[in-house]
Amino acid sequence: MKNRIKLLAKWLNNVDTDTFCYDSYHSGKLGSEIVNAQVEVCNKIGDMLEEILQMDEKQLQDNLEN
């Protein structure tokens, strides 16, 4: 399971505008902003997953109790 989460984190951190088939020639400003927001969210989730994977058991328990 841990390897699958590592892979998901890697994929999320590698997301860019091409992932969402964004075409700057045919999309307007709003489309650009939406795609950039999607990329940012994916990258942040990937970072969070990596941070969780690096925690030891005590850190995990401390965070679950909060």
Q: How many Cβ atoms are within 10 Å of 17's Cβ, its own excluded?
A: 15
SS (H, E, C) the chain: CHHHHHHHHHHHHCCCHHHHCCCCCCCCHHHHHHHHHHHHHHHHHHHHHHHHHHCCHHHHHHHHHC
Rg (CA), the chain: 16
Per-residue pLDDT of the chain (66 residues; tens, 9 = 90+): 889 999 999 999 999 988 988 777 777 888 889 999 999 999 999 999 999 999 999 999 999 998
Please state the pTM of the whole predicted model.
Answer: 0.81
pLDDT of residue 1: 80
Residue 66: per-residue pLDDT = 80
